[in-house]
Amino acid sequence: MSETPPQMPKAYYQYLHELQSIDFVLCELTLYLDTHPEDEQALAQFTQFQKRKHNLMTQFEAAFGPLYEFGVSPISGGKWTWSQTPWPWQV
């Protein structure tokens, strides 16, 4: 039936949850700014969270591989690891 899911270290889940909460704020702000494009406070918050996302993403990708491809995420260690497990439904 299904292959055995890969065992991911605790740190993977910690990073993932932190990323998910930052991305949630950015998702909320994106939709909000779509209907309130003049809101400067929301814009400032967006910029602030974007920085946090970028920092965390860099750390996550260095440890666990690319989150995006098509040239968006860096190649780590000269190896193509994008197509390796785990995929989101496997963890």
Partner 1 sequence: MKAIWIYEKKLQYPVRVSKCDPKLAKMLIEQYGGADGELSAALRYLNQRYSIPDKVIGLLTDIGTEEFAHLEMIATMVYKLTKDATPEQLRAAGLADHYVNHGHALFYHDAAGNPWTATYIQAKGDPIADLYEDIAAEEKARATYQWIIDNTDDPDIVDSLRFLREREVVHSLRFREAVEILKEYNSTKKMF
Q: Which residues bind partner 1 (CB under 8 A)?
A: 1-2, 16-17, 19-20, 23-24, 27-28, 30-32, 34-36, 65-70, 72, 82, 87-89
CA distance 26 to 29: 5
CA distance 26 to 57: 14
Q: How far is the CB of 70 from partner 1 (least distance, A)?
A: 6
Rank residues 32 and 45 by Cβ distance to partner 1 and give the closer one. 32
Rank residues 40 and 72 by Cβ distance to partner 1 and give the closer one. 72
Cβ burial of 64 (10 Å; 0-12, 13-18, 19+) is middle
